[in-house]
Structure 1
Amino acid sequence: MPTRRALDATDLARVAVFAALIAVLGLPGGFVVLSGVPVTLQTLGVMLAGAILGPWLGALSVSVLLALAAVGLPVLSGGRGGFGVFLGPTAGYLLGWIVGAVVIGLIVHAGGRRPVVWRTAVAMVVGGIGVIYLFGIPVQSLVMRLPLGETALSSLGFVPGDLAKAVVATLVVTTLVRAYPRGFRREWREPVAAERAPEAAAV
């Protein structure tokens, strides 16, 4: 198992970079998918933060971004900011970003092993979509005073865009593992035979 190390200046710099990345991904605002529901790119940044920084630094980078939003900086999609965003219908999704980053990091780096394609993809879907929806939909239902089932059904329109982001995030992470593993700042133990087999079959 990898040993724990103290947080250093490089870790803090990486946290800041990913917080900035998530903010930048929000600059274009929302775009419309086939369902007509606007989707933003910021969850892509959340996915990458959890996978590359790991569960705790990934969550810290998201928390930094949300703290900046809370004090009024326009770092959320479309230039939104201010404490009011945490009282609106998207508040649950924002909280879900933090938990989602933790879940993604835990799955991607499960057991201290090197990230592989299948586990990274599962992490993006479970943590980057499922967990965020789990927090977001009930809060949206409560704030908008809509039935939970109706809110969940309307949220299905976001799924195609979120799945596309999960695919992109998986490709970025697996490419980075091969091209620049030092970017993860982790020591991995060798994967078990069961994990090597899918990778070998894909070659």
Structure 2
Amino acid sequence: MKTKEITMVALMTAVLIVLGLIPPIPLGFIPAPIVLQNLGIMMIALILGKKYGTISVAIFLILAALGLPVLPGGRGGMAVLTGPTGGYLLGYLLTPICVSLLIQVVSAKKIWQVWLCLLIVSLVIVTGIGILWMSYSTHLPLKEALIANLIFVPGDIIKTVIAILIFDRLRHTQLKTSILM
């Protein structure tokens, strides 16, 4: 890795940690709160691409596993990673790879195509793995976990739009480390 890539990985990992400082919004009927860290994951996937994006998210998850309070609400530790929200965190790790591959498979060149790829990965991979893990770990029927997770769809759509707007602005600057550059 060159200095530029190391710096970008560190910077985006720091952005992810800062987004974790924003208090989560607990929902009460589901153990997963509304958080902004998935916005950071989306930006990492777009800006860093599959290799460096995955490294950035892995560093973040290692810090969380070591018990550093990098997750929303100042949480960290293996109990959080293996708890009801652990599936979402695994989905975070897969996001840069899946977004990059989907963009390549569909030959997404226009920004709306990239947005659609990002939204699909967010809803199918992150939320899908989150639903499966939550259902398994809490013994909540899969159908109920799926229905409860519908609350995240409007927010995820908004977060993907924000991530795309930031990415689109950055790709017209000197930042040239993305999968689309």
Is TM more than 0.5 here?
A: yes
| Structure 1 residues 116 and 173: CA distance shift in structure 2, 3 A | farther
Call closer, same or farther: CA 1:156–1:66 in 2, change over 3 Å: same
- Distance in 2 (alpha carbons) for counterparts of 1:142 and 1:159: 21
Asked whether the equivalents of residues 48 and 178 of structure 2 are also in contact (C-alpha less than 8 Å), the reply is: no
Quote how far apart the aligned CAs of 1:186 are: 5.8
Distance 1:41 1:63, change over 3 A: same
Q: Is the 8 A contact 1:58 1:105 kept in 2?
A: no
Task: Give the TM-score, by structure 1 length.
Answer: 0.79
* CA distance in 2: counterparts of 1:154 and 1:62, whole angstroms: 26
Matching of residue 123 in structure 1 with residue 92 in structure 2: no
**2:73 aligned with 1:81:** no
Q: Which amino acid aligns with 2:175?
A: G
CA drift of 1:100 comes to: 1.3
Match of 2:50 among 36, 52, 55: 55
For residues 42 and 15 of structure 2, what CA distance do their matches in structure 1 show? 11
Q: Distance in 2 between matches of 1:186 and 1:171?
A: 14
Unpaired segments ≥5 residues, structure 2: none
- Alignment-mate amino acid for residue 74 of structure 1: P
Measured at CA, do residues 188 and 44 of structure 1 come closer, stay the same or move farther in structure 2, by a change above 3 Å? closer
Gap runs ≥5 in structure 1: 1-6, 190-203
Q: 1:84 to 1:24 in 2, by over 3 A?
A: same
Judge conservation of contact 1:141–1:148 (CA < 8 Å) in 2.
yes
Q: Is 1:132 the equivalent of 2:126?
A: yes
SS at match of 1:80: coil
Q: Do residues 65 (structure 1) and 60 (structure 2) align?
A: yes
Structure 1 residue aligned with 2:7, among 1, 13, 19? 13
Equivalent of residue 28 in structure 1, options 22, 29, 35: 22
Matches within 5 A, 1:1-203: 7-31=1-25, 38-108=33-103, 110=104, 116-178=110-172, 180=173, 182-185=174-177
Contact 1:46/1:62 (8 A) holds in 2: yes
